[in-house]
Amino acid sequence: MMSVVTDQAFVTLATNDVYCRGALVLCQSLRHHKTTRRIVALFTPQVSRNMRSVLECLFDEVIEVNVLDSGDSAHLALLTRPELGVTFTKIHCWCLVQYSKCVFMDADTLVCNNIDDLFEREELSAAPDPGWPDCFNTGVFVYRPSIDTYNQLLQFAADNGSFDGGDQGLLNSFFSSWSTKDIHKHLPFVYNLSGIAIYSYLPAFKQFGSSVKVVHFLGPTKPWHHKYDAQTKSVVQENMSPSDSMFIDFLNLWWDVFTTSILPLLVEHGVVEKSADHQMHQAGDLQVTMKRQEEAVAQEKANMVLEQKAHPQSAERREKLFLGTPLQ
The residue among 248 and 297 lying less far from a copy of itself, judged by its C-beta, is: 248
Residue 79, φ and ψ in degrees, nearest 5: -55, -35
DSSP class of residue 278?
A: B
x/- contact string, 206-235, with a copy of itself (CB under 8 A)? xxx---------------------------
User: Does the protein bind a copy of itself through residue 327 (CB under 8 A)?
Assistant: no
Q: Tell me the pairing of strands 37-43 and 61-64.
A: parallel
**Does residue 139 bind a copy of itself (CB under 8 A)?**
no
Q: How far is the CB of 104 from a copy of itself (least distance, A)?
A: 20
Determine which residue in the list 165, 195, 219, 223 makes contact with a copy of itself, applying CB under 8 A.
165
Candidate residues 202, 302, 304, 305; the one interacting with a copy of itself per rule CB under 8 A:
202
Q: Is 119 helix (H, G, I), strand (E, B) or coil?
A: helix
* d(C-alpha 256, C-alpha 11), whole Å: 22
Query: 310-322 as b/e, with b when 16 or more CB fall inside 10 Å?
Result: bbeebeeebeebb
Q: Which stretch binds a copy of itself (CB under 8 A): 11-19, 71-79, 202-210, 229-237?
A: 202-210
Q: Based on C-alpha coordinates, what's the Rg of the chain? A: 19
By CB under 8 A, residue 309 contacts a copy of itself: no
Of 102 and 127, nearer to a copy of itself (C-beta) is 127
Q: Looking at 56, 64, 134, 295, which residue binds a copy of itself (CB under 8 A)?
A: 134
DSSP character for 221?
A: -
> Which is nearer to a copy of itself, 69 or 159 (by Cβ)?
159
> Which member of 33, 71, 116, 131 binds a copy of itself (CB under 8 A)?
131
In whole angstroms, the minimum distance from the beta carbon of 249 to a copy of itself comes to: 17
**Cβ neighbourhood burial of 94 (10 Å; 0-12, 13-18, 19+):** buried
Cβ closest to a copy of itself, residue 77 vs residue 126: 126
The site string for a copy of itself over 61-100 (x = CB under 8 A, - otherwise) reads: ----------------------------------------
CB 192 within 8 A of CB 186: no
Is the bond into 124 cis (omega within 30 degrees of 0)?
yes
Instruction: Indicate the DSSP class of residue 260.
Output: I
Detail the DSSP E strand segments found in the chain.
5-14, 37-43, 61-64, 101-105, 109-111, 125-128, 136-143, 193-194, 214-216, 228-229, 234-235, 287-288
By CB under 8 A, the count of residues binding a copy of itself is 43
Residues forming contacts to a copy of itself in the complex (CB under 8 A) are 127-135, 163-165, 169, 179-183, 186, 188-190, 196-197, 199-208, 243, 311, 313-314, 316-317, 320-321, 323
